[in-house]
Amino acid sequence: MLTKRIIACLDVRGGRVVKGVQFVDIVDAGDPAELAHRHAAAGADEIVLLDITATHEGRGTLLDTVRRAAAKLFVPFTVGGGIRTAEDAAAVFNAGADKVSINSSAIARPELIGKIGASFGAQAVIVAIDARRGAKGVEDAEVYVSGGRKPTGLRVVEWAREAESRGAGEILLTSMDTDGMRDGFDCELTAAVSEAVQIPVIASGGAGSAAHFVDVFGRGKADAALAASIFHFGVTSSRDLKAQLAQAGVSVRLPC
């Protein structure tokens, strides 16, 4: 049976892993390569490395960090942040990434989705969407870019559909309303996107307990869920989390 994936996310800034609360407060959590290996060994199904400052400070992705992290990583590895062109993506793939996550640049130039897919396969292109609910809630939830700094006027579900039609392999949906709060994922928003597209949807933002994951895999119809701060400070490991999910009847990769 296809299992629900637990993805460990490393938000990187200046070569260090950090984690913000609602995209702003930042706490240092360690070396990205070391943490990537630790998460994989602790049972994470996948690793995502996001260079969270790349877009607005105009830096390229930290290829050296990617190379070090990928060296002995034998689970899927996604890299995002600062990927503006197909050439940027190629450099990240050559450094050892299996997938790239694009966000601001996909909105600025939606054809980039298909362009990267043409060389590396659709499965290698994740379109990341940073979303915030609107006045009417989920219905008018809006897409934000530049690390959550700029509203775009795009509706979340419509953009997810367009990303799929342009060849995205997966959608990484982050709720800015719930991010870093450890109070649960935005299940309604995740379900709305998951029902609108055929491709897998990764839920992100708000993980705080195993019950939150059970909720987003059930009610939220997510195919995968991503967490960062819940793991870094030894709150729990992916393996512990999965054992709890299995108990609650969620299909997960165990033993791992």
Partner 1 sequence: MIAVIDYKAGNLTSVVKALRYILGDEQTTREVVVTQSPDVVRGADKVVLPGVGHFQATQLLEDLGLTEAMRESIAKGAWFLGICVGLQWLFEGSTEAEGTKGLGAFSGMCEHFPATYEGADLKSPHVGWNSLEQIRPDSRLLRGVADGAFVYFTHSWRAPVVQETAAVTNYGGAFTAALERENVMGVQFHPEKSANVGLRVLRNFVEL
**CA–CA distance, 125 with 166 (Å, rounded to integer):** 11
- Rank residues 20 and 32 by Cβ distance to partner 1 and give the closer one: 32
- Rank residues 181 and 196 by Cβ distance to partner 1 and give the closer one: 196
Least Å from the CB of residue 226 to partner 1: 13
Half-sphere exposure of 235 (CA within 13 A, CB side): 14
Write the interaction track for partner 1 spanning residues 170-209; mark x where CB under 8 A is met and - where it is not.
Answer: x---------------------------xxx---------
Residue of 26, 42, 122, 235 interacting with partner 1 (CB under 8 A): 122
Least Å from the CB of residue 123 to partner 1: 4
Q: How far is CA 214 from CA 1, 32, 178, 211, 256, in A?
A: 17, 28, 16, 5, 19
Using CB under 8 A as the binding rule, whether residue 98 contacts partner 1 is answered as yes
Reading the block at residue 131, the tokens are 């979303």
Closest alpha carbon to 13 in 48, 59, 78: 59
Contacts for 60 with CB less than 8 Å, ≥ 6 apart: 54, 82, 88, 91
Q: How many residues bind partner 1 (CB under 8 A)?
A: 32
Torsion of CA 144, 145, 149, 152, to 10 degrees: -50
- Rank residues 53 and 78 by Cβ distance to partner 1 and give the closer one: 78
Using CB under 8 A as the binding rule, whether residue 76 contacts partner 1 is answered as yes
Phi, psi of 150 (to 5 degrees): -120, 125
Using CB under 8 A as the binding rule, whether residue 11 contacts partner 1 is answered as no
Assess whether 140 carries a catalytic annotation.
Answer: no
Using CB under 8 A as the binding rule, whether residue 165 contacts partner 1 is answered as no
Least Å from the CB of residue 250 to partner 1: 13
**CA–CA distance, 195 with 222 (Å, rounded to integer):** 10
Residue of 36, 49, 75, 214 interacting with partner 1 (CB under 8 A): 75
- Burial code (b: 16+ CB inside 10 Å, e: under 16) for 139-173 equals eebbbbbebbeeeeebbbbebbebbbebbbbbbbb
Using CB under 8 A as the binding rule, whether residue 123 contacts partner 1 is answered as yes
Contacts for 38 with CB less than 8 Å, ≥ 6 apart: none
Assess whether 11 carries a catalytic annotation.
Answer: yes
Give the active site residue among 130, 179, 215, 223.
Answer: 130
Give the active site residue among 11, 45, 88, 186.
Answer: 11
Using CB under 8 A as the binding rule, whether residue 9 contacts partner 1 is answered as no
Report the chain's terminal Cα–Cα distance, integer Å. Answer: 15
Write the interaction track for partner 1 spanning residues 208-227; mark x where CB under 8 A is met and - where it is not.
Answer: ---------------xx---
Q: How far is CA 205 from CA 32, 106, 123, in A?
A: 20, 21, 23
Q: List residues with catalytic annotation.
A: 11, 130
Which residues of this protein are in contact with partner 1, per CB under 8 A?
1-5, 40, 45, 70-72, 74-76, 93-94, 96, 98, 119-124, 169-170, 198-200, 223-224, 253, 256
